[in-house]
Chains A and B, each alone.
Chain A
Amino acid sequence: MSETQAHEGVGARLPRQEGVGARLPRKEDDRLMRGRGQFIADIRMTGMQDVAFVRSPLAHARIRGIHVPDDLKDRVFTAADLDGVKPIRAVSGLPGFKVSEQPVLATGKVRQVGELIAMCVADTRAEAEDMAARVELDLEELPALHDMLEARKPGAPLVHEHWGDNVFLESLVNINIEAAFDAPVKVSRTISTARQCMAPIEGRGAVIHFDHRCDQLVVHTASQMPHIVRSGLSECLQMEEGQIRIISPDVGGGFGYKAILLAEEVCLGWLAQKLRRPVRWLEDRREHLTANANCREHHYEITLYAERDGTLRGIDCEASVDSGAYSAYPFSACLEAAQVASILPGPYDFPAYRCRTWSVATNKCPILPYRGVARTGVCFALEVALDALAAELGLPPEVVRLKNLVRPEQMPFDNITNKHFDSGDYPQALHRALDAIKADTVRARQTAGERDGRRIGLGLSIYCEQAAHGTSVYSGWGIPMVPGHEQAGARLTPDGGLELRIGAHSHGQGLETTLAQVACEILGIPVARTRLVHGDTAMTPYSTGSWGSRVMVMAGGAVATACTELAERVRRIGAHMLQARLDEVRLENGRVVGPAGDVTISQVAHTWYRRPQDLPADVDPHGLEVTAGYKPQRDSGTFSYAAHAVVVAVDPELGEVEILDYVIVEDGGTLVNPMVVDGQILGGLAQGIGTALYEEMPFDTSGQPLASTLADYLLPGAPEVPLPFIDHMATPSPYTAFGVKGIGEGGAIAPPAAIANAINDALRPVGAEMLRAPVTPRRIVESVLKARANRRSAA
């Protein structure tokens, strides 16, 4: 019997009000919405010291000297003081990968603005900043690389001299591209996405002290992956893993930024031992924007080959990713570009493909994986190019997509890059989106024109999200972290409550509720009586953590497996208590039911823990605590997907864009809690709108980041984010417990493409085409004016 069937078999007999599929309000919101969460900045410790860093003001410079005033010598530390601390190394096993070592405090050179040079310790952050202001740097400025395309050119200045060039990794996939060259239609575009910042409400931060009783460095840090941070810290600090305990309390949004080992954490780990006092660093928004949380910057030269009816003959692409100065731990500097090559084909079936990628080193912050990782850029490039193809062919954009989307009868489907699509009906998602947005009505309105001079546009995009991909996928990339089996612990308390333990972390996903729902589905224990223990390496099983939309599939599967085993043990004790044979009793609604009566799980737990004298001598000794491991039947990932459709009104004179309607038809397989899924989609949509229209970290030619506050780095606010219509399809994954699929990132993947396509649809009669995200008012006006000038000179 497959695991899926096993879980469904148990679940089918249980009430569903709180189990899998219930729209349950999130338990954690009670504390979070009342301001009673416990975040890093809420932690107070006796004698705690605050840290401020001296950061590089230049993007690229040789360090000639660091002058610390004499009166600060015992409170300011530089690389020379950090005995026994190793640089951060995040190496990829992909052939040809060039290794960067990131010193936790700069040595020799600085390679990005904001790079750490010295740390200053004081009673308060303000005093530490006063000290930092007094440290004088003697820097010899070097030519800086602010543009990845320039950095790729021969003769460019070098970020890491010994490499000889500025390319972390170059890759090439070629699947018979030559066969496409005789296609009757060829459309090429240059498409790019800006460098962004992730901007969770809570920045990074750490409070670290040494606990002599436990002989452990206790690291409170806002992290999505406590166990991985422990491995990284142990490597850099050269301590045994057992000597380090990571505690990640409430985390105010992660999005990938908190899945990275920061140099700041390593520095504080050393400092806490040096000073023998608790030390704290709280990232401020300027550090966040200018020195740390960068992501997304992609550049594509993409060519589509097609038949006149829209059938794709091949896709040829050159993609560059601005990886920044260093390889970030654990995902490395080439995760994005390596993903680009393998996921660019999206949900389309076509015969020829070539993709060359470059992970380029520049004098900017390391690029970090942000919700959707490479998918947002890939979806933007391919879906925007597909609309250009449709326009070239004179076909509606949906026609070109429907010609090429993988069809339900092909499932499971291995695509051109060997991605294994587990299930789904992509054409149906697109049809439902077109119906829901009332495409015909919108197009009629578009033809009629607007009285206020604005132009209406309809945009579509569709993507697939490979989630919870495991060993077989990550071992190929050879990065410091490869996920294997996921473990979960389940323990009944003596009064019949349930404790679940997982090594991944919840930072907005609602796991305290949804994993309790999974347990309830199997054990019938109310969600209110189930507690999730997580975010602490001392109390949880090992896990690579929360990333890649993996937790509901992996930890959910592990919880289900542990609870199924626990259910069996409960049944055995229950059978003793009912004096029935094991095959005569079943677990139902939190009770063990036999032929002549029943006992509750609470009574079973009470008996096991408090009245063992009532149990026979040959009772199963394993008790009511289980740790179980889980992997889906295939670990190549679940494939959730969605079709987005959006209507915009574009003001061609001022470039203002208003979103009039937004529809999302998504298929996340079996939804454990549809309300939580909706929440994930809404948050992702807000971020996708940011990518599409607002968010950009500009740099000047000397590599200076130009947005150091949220007045310059624009995030969409509530008025800029419409409430979308969300329609769920639910094609279960054949490989996972309950048929769930990972859905955490999808909301942020499709909006930039859909919105840009809508804007382009609106502006097509004007002759303007927007190929660069974010599509800002200025870029729109610029393109419109250029198109007008071209038409004038052509006339």
Chain B
Amino acid sequence: MKPAPFRMERPRDIAGATALLATGGDGAKAMAGSQSLGPMLNLRLATPELIVDLTGIDALRTVREEPGHVVYGALITHADVEDGRVPDVGAHILRRVAGGIAYRAVRNRGTLGGSLAHADPAADWVNALSALGAEVEIAGPDGTRRLAIGAFLTGALSTALAAGEILVAVQVPKVPASARFGYVKHCRKVGEFAHAIGAVLVDPEAGSCRALMGAIDAPPLLFPDAARLFGGHIDAGFAARFDATAADAALTAAGMDDAVDRHVHVEVLRRAAVQAATLFTETRSAA
């Protein structure tokens, strides 16, 4: 379990990184926290000739709070979020997700950008940030571009990143005070990758709801308008109207043949809805 030989560069700016990656072509790979790439190198599942270590690029570590959203640099670690060293998009929304990723040692090194670029369907940021409607900023040899996260994630372990491009930042919309975020991860032991993820961003005042079922061997199944999963409309009583049959049918349509898998994913989504609903009562009684 030792990597095949490779060359390593540690550029200081984004342009340097994209230039190196562009010249390296298919044989070049970016590295951030190395928590996913490292194991793949050791197992020789990845055998790049050139590794471009991004951790020397300070520009990728910045965080900007802007009206309506927060922009996180790609090198922000799970632990940065968990510990509150960067602003959250709502009360404990990202912090809660971050604290459920892997173990502390992995969270100390693993990054938002690496997690999204790796595009593991079971990864937490892939799912949580999809549910929250994030956008990514991409830089390449020919300049920068922006993509909605849904367009960025093109398949299991595949993204819209072209050769020479890196993910620079992810922009996450702030969650309005009238909304709540339910996020449930089903796994067998603490720190394990999810076997099913359910997420619900619901705003009964606005009558809106986004819902997501994830960890399905493909990018998450997103319902930008999830009213149909809750009897056609969204109000304070939405969770009780969760329509398991509709969710199940959506999974079948997405190609999930296994009934046990579907049952678990549907149940996890139901719990995410219940969790969001409970957050309303908890915050109300606290006030």
Which residues of A pack against B, CB within 8 Å? 124-126, 129-130, 133, 284-286, 653-656, 693-694, 708-709, 711, 714, 716-717, 719-720, 776-778, 781-782, 785
Are A656 and B190 closer than 8 Å at their CB atoms? no
Task: Give the chain B neighbours of A717 by CB distance below 8 A.
Answer: 189-191
Partner pick for A285 among B1, B259, B264, CB 8 A cutoff: B1
Ordered nearest first, which 5 A-B pairs have the shortest CB separation?
A: A126-B2, A719-B190, A284-B1, A653-B267, A129-B2
Nearest residue (CB) in A for B44 is A133
Residues in B240-287 with C-beta less than 8 Å from chain A: 259-260, 263-264, 267-268
Which residues of B pack against A, CB within 8 Å? 1-5, 39, 43-44, 186, 188-193, 195, 259-260, 263-264, 267-268
Q: How long is the Cα–Cα vector from A130 to B44 in the complex, in angstroms?
A: 10
Closest-CB distance, B252 to chain A (whole angstroms): 15
Q: How long is the Cα–Cα vector from A714 to B192 in the complex, in angstroms?
A: 9
Are B193 and A711 closer than 8 Å at their CB atoms? yes
Are A714 and B260 closer than 8 Å at their CB atoms? no
Task: Give the chain A neighbours of B193 by CB distance below 8 A.
Answer: 711
Return 12 A-B CB contacts under 8 Å, by A number.
A129-B4, A133-B44, A653-B264, A653-B267, A654-B186, A654-B264, A694-B189, A709-B43, A711-B39, A717-B189, A776-B188, A778-B260
Q: How long is the Cα–Cα vector from A781 to B268 in the complex, in angstroms?
A: 13
Q: How long is the Cα–Cα vector from A785 to B3 in the complex, in angstroms?
A: 44
Are B189 and A714 closer than 8 Å at their CB atoms? yes
Partner pick for A785 among B1, B44, B263, CB 8 A cutoff: B263
Partner pick for B43 among A655, A694, A708, A781, CB 8 A cutoff: A708
Task: Give the chain A neighbours of B189 by CB distance below 8 A.
Answer: 694, 714, 716-717, 719-720
Closest-CB distance, B189 to chain A (whole angstroms): 5
Are A656 and B186 closer than 8 Å at their CB atoms? yes
Q: Given the known A-B contacts A126-B2, A654-B268, A694-B189, are A781 and B260 also in contact in the complex, defined by CB atoms under 8 Å?
A: yes
Q: How long is the Cα–Cα vector from A597 to B179 in the complex, in angstroms?
A: 88
Task: Give the chain A neighbours of B186 by CB distance below 8 A.
Answer: 654, 656, 777
Closest-CB distance, B49 to chain A (whole angstroms): 14
Q: How long is the Cα–Cα vector from A709 to B44 in the complex, in angstroms?
A: 13
Q: How long is the Cα–Cα vector from A412 to B249 in the complex, in angstroms?
A: 64
Q: How long is the Cα–Cα vector from A130 to B193 in the complex, in angstroms?
A: 31
Q: How long is the Cα–Cα vector from A113 to B37 in the complex, in angstroms?
A: 26
Are B39 and A714 closer than 8 Å at their CB atoms? no
Since A286-B43, A711-B193 are in contact, a sample of 19 more A-B pairs with Cβ atoms closer than 8 Å, ordered by chain A residue number, is A126-B2, A126-B3, A126-B5, A133-B4, A133-B44, A285-B1, A653-B263, A654-B186, A654-B267, A693-B188, A709-B43, A711-B39, A714-B188, A717-B190, A717-B191, A719-B190, A777-B188, A777-B264, A778-B264
Q: How long is the Cα–Cα vector from A139 to B231 in the complex, in angstroms?
A: 59
Nearest residue (CB) in B for A784 is B263
Partner pick for B195 among A286, A653, A719, A777, CB 8 A cutoff: A777
Q: How long is the Cα–Cα vector from A372 to B122 in the complex, in angstroms?
A: 36
Task: Give the chain A neighbours of B268 by CB distance below 8 A.
Answer: 654
Q: How long is the Cα–Cα vector from A285 to B2 in the complex, in angstroms?
A: 11
Q: How long is the Cα–Cα vector from A720 to B259 in the complex, in angstroms?
A: 28
Q: Given the known A-B contacts A781-B260, A782-B260, are A694 and B188 also in contact in the complex, defined by CB atoms under 8 Å?
A: yes
Task: Give the chain A neighbours of B2 by CB distance below 8 A.
Answer: 124-126, 129
Are B190 and A720 closer than 8 Å at their CB atoms? yes
Q: How long is the Cα–Cα vector from A294 to B2 in the complex, in angstroms?
A: 23
Task: Give the chain B neighbours of A709 by CB distance below 8 A.
Answer: 39, 43
Task: Give the chain A neighbours of B264 by CB distance below 8 A.
Answer: 653-655, 777-778, 781
Q: How long is the Cα–Cα vector from A526 to B193 in the complex, in angstroms?
A: 50
Q: How long is the Cα–Cα vector from A782 to B191 in the complex, in angstroms?
A: 24
With a 10 A CB-CB cut-off, give which of B2, B4, B193 has the most chain A CB atoms.
B2
Closest-CB distance, A312 to chain B (whole angstroms): 36
Are B260 and A785 closer than 8 Å at their CB atoms? yes
Q: How long is the Cα–Cα vector from A466 to B240 in the complex, in angstroms?
A: 56
Closest-CB distance, B214 to chain A (whole angstroms): 15
Are A781 and B263 closer than 8 Å at their CB atoms? yes
Task: Give the chain B neighbours of A125 by CB distance below 8 A.
Answer: 2
Closest-CB distance, A74 to chain B (whole angstroms): 21
Q: How long is the Cα–Cα vector from A694 to B267 in the complex, in angstroms?
A: 22
Closest-CB distance, B61 to chain A (whole angstroms): 28
Are A130 and B4 closer than 8 Å at their CB atoms? yes
Closest-CB distance, B149 to chain A (whole angstroms): 25
Nearest residue (CB) in A for B47 is A133
Q: How long is the Cα–Cα vector from A776 to B264 in the complex, in angstroms?
A: 13
Task: Give the chain B neighbours of A785 by CB distance below 8 A.
Answer: 259-260, 263
Q: How long is the Cα–Cα vector from A709 to B192 in the complex, in angstroms?
A: 13
Nearest residue (CB) in A for B266 is A653
Q: How long is the Cα–Cα vector from A711 to B194 in the complex, in angstroms?
A: 12
Closest-CB distance, A134 to chain B (whole angstroms): 11
Closest-CB distance, A506 to chain B (whole angstroms): 29
Q: How long is the Cα–Cα vector from A782 to B5 in the complex, in angstroms?
A: 45
Q: How long is the Cα–Cα vector from A133 to B186 in the complex, in angstroms?
A: 38
Q: How long is the Cα–Cα vector from A285 to B43 in the complex, in angstroms?
A: 11
Closest-CB distance, B19 to chain A (whole angstroms): 29
Q: How long is the Cα–Cα vector from A125 to B190 in the complex, in angstroms?
A: 33
Task: Give the chain B neighbours of A129 by CB distance below 8 A.
Answer: 1-2, 4, 44
Q: How long is the Cα–Cα vector from A126 to B193 in the complex, in angstroms?
A: 29
Are A286 and B1 closer than 8 Å at their CB atoms? yes
Task: Give the chain A neighbours of B4 by CB distance below 8 A.
Answer: 129-130, 133
Q: How long is the Cα–Cα vector from A708 to B193 in the complex, in angstroms?
A: 16
Q: How long is the Cα–Cα vector from A125 to B43 in the complex, in angstroms?
A: 14
Q: How long is the Cα–Cα vector from A694 to B192 in the complex, in angstroms?
A: 12
With a 10 A CB-CB cut-off, give which of A130, A653, A708 has the most chain B CB atoms.
A653
Q: How long is the Cα–Cα vector from A285 to B1 in the complex, in angstroms?
A: 8
Q: How long is the Cα–Cα vector from A717 to B264 in the complex, in angstroms?
A: 23
Q: How long is the Cα–Cα vector from A286 to B259 in the complex, in angstroms?
A: 32
Task: Give the chain A neighbours of B263 by CB distance below 8 A.
Answer: 653, 781, 785
Task: Give the chain A neighbours of B190 by CB distance below 8 A.
Answer: 717, 719-720
Nearest residue (CB) in B for A693 is B188
Task: Give the chain B neighbours of A284 by CB distance below 8 A.
Answer: 1
Task: Give the chain A neighbours of B192 by CB distance below 8 A.
Answer: 711, 714
Task: Give the chain B neighbours of A130 by CB distance below 8 A.
Answer: 4-5
Nearest residue (CB) in A for B186 is A654
With a 10 A CB-CB cut-off, give which of A285, A656, A777 has the most chain B CB atoms.
A777
Q: How long is the Cα–Cα vector from A709 to B264 in the complex, in angstroms?
A: 25
Q: How long is the Cα–Cα vector from A777 to B44 in the complex, in angstroms?
A: 31
Q: How long is the Cα–Cα vector from A655 to B265 in the complex, in angstroms?
A: 12
Q: How long is the Cα–Cα vector from A654 to B262 in the complex, in angstroms?
A: 11
